[in-house]
Amino acid sequence: MNHKAVIVCAKRTPIGRAGGILRNIPPEDLASVVFRSILEETGVPAEVIEDVILGNVVGPGGNLARLSALQADFPVSVPGVTVDRQCGSGMEAVGQAVRLIQAGAGGVYLAGGVESVSRAPWKMKKPKNVWQQLPRFYERAAFSPEKIGDPDMGVAAENVAQKYGVTREEQDVYAVESHQKAVRAQKEGRYEGEIVPLSGVAEMDECPREQTNRKLLRRLPPVFVEHGTVTAGNSCPVNDGASVVLVMSEEKAKAWGLSPLVEVQDIVTTGVDPNYLGIGPISAVQQCLKRNNLEINDIDQMEFNEAFASQTIACLHALQVPRENVNSGGGAIALGHPYGASGAVITTRLCAEMKIQQTETGIAAMGIGGGMGIAMLCKNR
């Protein structure tokens, strides 16, 4: 029997810029405040949570999910597991909870992601000869072997722009639209049901800028490749934040008297050339649609993680997605990209927008470091 997995509550912290409003808050505190808010709103006691599954990328190591659960004062009987699929970690965590429920292995999970780039530890490589060589700092682990190619994210975004013919002007226009949509969503109160305010620290996202316009963005130089098209203005900022959803079997949701936001019907992960990692959502979405006998026109609402405007535009063109159906409340270029949390953030945003707009079917998708894509198919309940 294939059990239906439903999301009954989806929350997130405000998203802060690295070194910004959330800089002094440890990642376990960011996650635990969202845990407590979800349980308070739904009335579900912590002791019925069968596992806490969290994505994290640049954190301190260890099992951050377990630490966060204990920080939230959960009973010691509630376990936790931390997953790392780079930028897709938060969505991977939700997907693992969904699969456990669909397989009949459990019924109640907290799943999502958390990241504090502000508090990320420094990384050092241990020299081969510790007596004759000094250690050296490095920014990230390898995503792909050098024989294939392992470009930094911004360089990969330039590769996508060049291969798919995405111009600087297109990228800047898209970035302005993202900020405009996010600012409008803030003013309309569309985030209020999903954001957990941090009292005395932050009550709203830090990065959306009302003054952003094409004239300002034209002044910005390329930051990754000389004479390139990818700038700080048409890329996402680096961020802190957490987002978590409460995933239940349909039977458990009914037992607790909770109305589902969406049913998660499928989740697909695919691999692509690491040199063009931003196009991962293309194959992930296509495979997800094929597995569920759907066409792109059957999808009413989409959330794409806007790590870079170049890759988002390339994906939307390839998939033939109408832009008005995508990121209605703004995307990561405006809101930010807290790596391990971003997949859960766009899942939370999808749940919110599908309810606000009363759309039937939605997909959340993102590209992942190392050359992967992930897509989640949801149905409005």
Distance CA 17, CA 31 (A): 17
Distance CA 164, CA 183 (A): 29
Distance CA 110, CA 68 (A): 11
Q: Which amino acid is at 366?
A: M
**Residue 285 tokens, joined:** 């979405």
Distance CA 319, CA 296 (A): 7
**Residue 48 tokens, joined:** 């019925």
Q: Which DSSP string corresponds to 157-169?
A: HHHHHHHHT--HH
What amino acid positions are annotated as catalytic residues?
A: 87, 337
Nearest to 368 by CA among 267, 278, 237: 278
Helix (H, G, I), strand (E, B) or coil at 369: coil
Nearest to 309 by CA among 283, 337, 290: 337
Torsion angle of the four alpha carbons 160, 161, 162, 165, in this order, in degrees rounded to the nearest 10: 120
Helix (H, G, I), strand (E, B) or coil at 266: strand
**Residue 341 tokens, joined:** 């949390």
Q: Which DSSP string corresponds to 122-155?
A: PEEEPPSSTTT---EEES---SS-TTT----HHH
Neighbouring-strand partners of residue 87: 85
Contact 220, 342 (CB under 8 A): no
